[in-house]
Structure 1
Amino acid sequence: MTVDTRAPALLPAHPAFATAKVLWVRHWNEHLFSFAIERPASFRFRSGEFVMIGLQGEGDKPLMRAYSVASPSWAEELEFLSIKVQDGPLTSKLQKIVPGDDIYLGKKSTGTLVADALLPGRRLFLLSTGTGLAPFLSVARDPEIYERFEQVIAVHSVRRVSDLAYHDELVGKLAEDPLIGEQAAAQFHYVPTVTREPFHTSGRIGELLENGKLFEGVAGDPVLHPETDRVMLCGSMDMIRDFAALLEGKGFKEGSNNAPGDFVIERAFVG
């Protein structure tokens, strides 16, 4: 094991952002990693929301990007899932952080991938590609979700098996979680799928909907009903666009914080 002996990277105070310490970093593969930072005592958020985080940019200007919080609203730390872009303005630096480093954190969270933007229902489908899994890690670990819905189905589509971040925790139905372990054991379903390597489930999310694999082990009809099913979408713009159109064709209505509906997407990420 290589031990990092450099001094922690500290950031100057900024009037618009808080400064938080990096607690841990986990590299899943060469282009995907997770990390957690301290949670300021004053920071509040709803499970599924996003916040601005960043590092020092050119000169004195912080370089900030929107990241969904992967930890639930009750957690004492703030967890994030990120891609690595070697020439990316922020991620080229962010992927090199180590425990003890400073990171900038926005003082307020926001977003529509929250339970409040959905009408009551029986089944909640969390459909994600790539790092779009992040807000659903937050939602799926929130006790309130299991009070609102009888079943919670998290679907994660990636290109390679190594891209299935949090696979083992999700396969284990979040059994180690102190607050929702028992509820998740009975109500949580995890559907990982890989599109470019051999895996027990393959194909894009739309294909799983058509062939019924999306509903394996899930009680109820193997179709989506706007009367009983609620859907959250996060990931590639193509997936969100296509699935939103499919849902609207089935009679689902998009929801928002001001007008709850049958499905939600994060408009801030898709334009």
Structure 2
Amino acid sequence: MNDVSVAAAPAQKASGAFFVEKVTWVQHWTDSLFSFRTTRDPAFRFASGQFVMVGLTKEDGKPLVRAYSIASPSWHEELEFYSIKVPDGPLTSRLQKIQVGDEVLIGRKPTGTLVLDGLKPGKRLWMLGTGTGLAPWLSLARDPEVYERFDEVIVTHTVREVADLNYRELLETELASDEILGELIGPKLKYYPTVTREDFKTRGRITDLIESGKVFEDLGVPPFDPAVDRVMLCGGPSVLADLKQQLLDRGFEEGSIAQPGDFVLEKAFVET
């Protein structure tokens, strides 16, 4: 996801397009990855899986924002985001230094294609993500509606190094034992982490693991079948293109909110 400087009117007008929220939590996972949470205005509504513009106010009073998938579920009282750190990035070079109590701009208009309404009914939901493309899955994996619509939910997360497997404990154990969601999520959610540059129990690009059939063998599920499987994709442009082609080759049809299909992907931003 690239840093984007959005042309806007001075601050007094820009405030109409943004909520000003306070940072409540910051977690630095590695030298290149961090997460943060903010307060949430009661008027802010979104569907799990959507993204919103997030950023800071520049010295000249104009907003500097970029698109961020919301990592918290739609029912949560706070907003959570998962970000890369770009040393020379106009926004993330500053955003990575935020602390609890600082103010952050949150756009008023969430949007995006990674929502349940873009998919036809199915049996098994796959959420295939790379890097910070995990963010929308963190939202959807904590949304009860996902488990009401699907018998099985599979989250895959492909990263370069083991240290980049952030939120691993949440997806491996914490959600299944959650007091409120555990009974609903526990038997249905499967998490499949893969690493490309270090030794790990599952090593390789998710596209290669799909092509070889290893991912299906490891998880004990049948290969992709457009009759029962629904797929969401989020990550870098090259892997998105490859995953989309793999699905098209298997007879899957791309969907949208206007015309639900077998798979959806987020085209609004790319991860860099």
- Letter of the 2:99 partner, please give it: V
Which residue matches 1:213?
214
Which residue matches 1:81?
82
- Letter of the 2:72 partner, please give it: S
Q: Following the alignment from structure 2 to structure 1, what is the Cα–Cα distance between the partners of residues 54 and 180?
A: 27
Do the aligned residues in 2 keep the contact of 1:173 with 1:189 (CA within 8 Å)? no
Which residue matches 2:117?
116
Q: Following the alignment from structure 2 to structure 1, what is the Cα–Cα distance between the partners of residues 77 and 24?
A: 11
1:232 aligns with 2:232: yes
Q: CA deviation at 1:198?
A: 1.0
Do the aligned residues in 2 keep the contact of 1:173 with 1:184 (CA within 8 Å)? no
Give 3-state SS (helix, strand or coil) of 2:269's partner: helix
Q: CA deviation at 1:169?
A: 1.2
* Alpha-carbon RMSD: 1.6
CA distance 1:176–1:78, change in 2 (3 Å):
farther
Cα offsets for 1:134-192 (capped at 9, x unmatched): 00100111000001000000000000001001011111161354442122210000000
Structure 2 length-normalised TM: 0.91
Which residue matches 2:260?
260
Do the aligned residues in 2 keep the contact of 1:173 with 1:185 (CA within 8 Å)? no
CA distance 1:102–1:178, change in 2 (3 Å):
farther
| Match runs of 1:107-256 below 5 Å | 107-172=108-173, 174-216=175-217, 218=219, 220-221=221-222, 223-256=223-256
Q: Following the alignment from structure 1 to structure 2, what is the Cα–Cα distance between the partners of residues 143 and 217?
A: 26
Q: Following the alignment from structure 1 to structure 2, what is the Cα–Cα distance between the partners of residues 216 and 173?
A: 25
Do the aligned residues in 1 keep the contact of 2:255 with 2:264 (CA within 8 Å)? yes
Q: Following the alignment from structure 2 to structure 1, what is the Cα–Cα distance between the partners of residues 19 and 178?
A: 28
Give 3-state SS (helix, strand or coil) of 1:172's partner: helix
Which residue matches 2:19?
18
Q: CA deviation at 1:253?
A: 0.6
Do the aligned residues in 1 keep the contact of 2:18 with 2:107 (CA within 8 Å)? yes
Q: Following the alignment from structure 2 to structure 1, what is the Cα–Cα distance between the partners of residues 59 and 243?
A: 39
Q: Following the alignment from structure 1 to structure 2, what is the Cα–Cα distance between the partners of residues 179 and 194?
A: 31
User: Mind listing any 5+ residue stretches in structure 2 that lack a counterpart?
Assistant: 1-10
- Letter of the 1:249 partner, please give it: D
Aligned pairs, number: 259
Which residue matches 1:4?
none
Give 3-state SS (helix, strand or coil) of 1:155's partner: strand
Q: Following the alignment from structure 1 to structure 2, what is the Cα–Cα distance between the partners of residues 64 and 179?
A: 34
Q: Following the alignment from structure 1 to structure 2, what is the Cα–Cα distance between the partners of residues 80 and 216?
A: 32
Which residue matches 1:6?
none
Give 3-state SS (helix, strand or coil) of 1:225's partner: coil
Q: CA deviation at 1:203?
A: 0.4
Q: CA deviation at 1:217?
A: 5.9
CA distance 1:176–1:71, change in 2 (3 Å):
farther
Do the aligned residues in 1 keep the contact of 2:129 with 2:234 (CA within 8 Å)? yes
Q: CA deviation at 1:99?
A: 0.5
Identity of aligned residues (%): 57
Give 3-state SS (helix, strand or coil) of 2:268's partner: helix
Cα offsets for 1:194-226 (capped at 9, x unmatched): 0001111100001211333322464542x1001
Query: Which stretch of the first structure deviates more once superposed, 49-58 or 93-102?
Result: 49-58
Do the aligned residues in 1 keep the contact of 2:113 with 2:266 (CA within 8 Å)? yes
User: Mind listing any 5+ residue stretches in structure 1 that lack a counterpart?
Assistant: 1-10
Give 3-state SS (helix, strand or coil) of 1:23's partner: strand
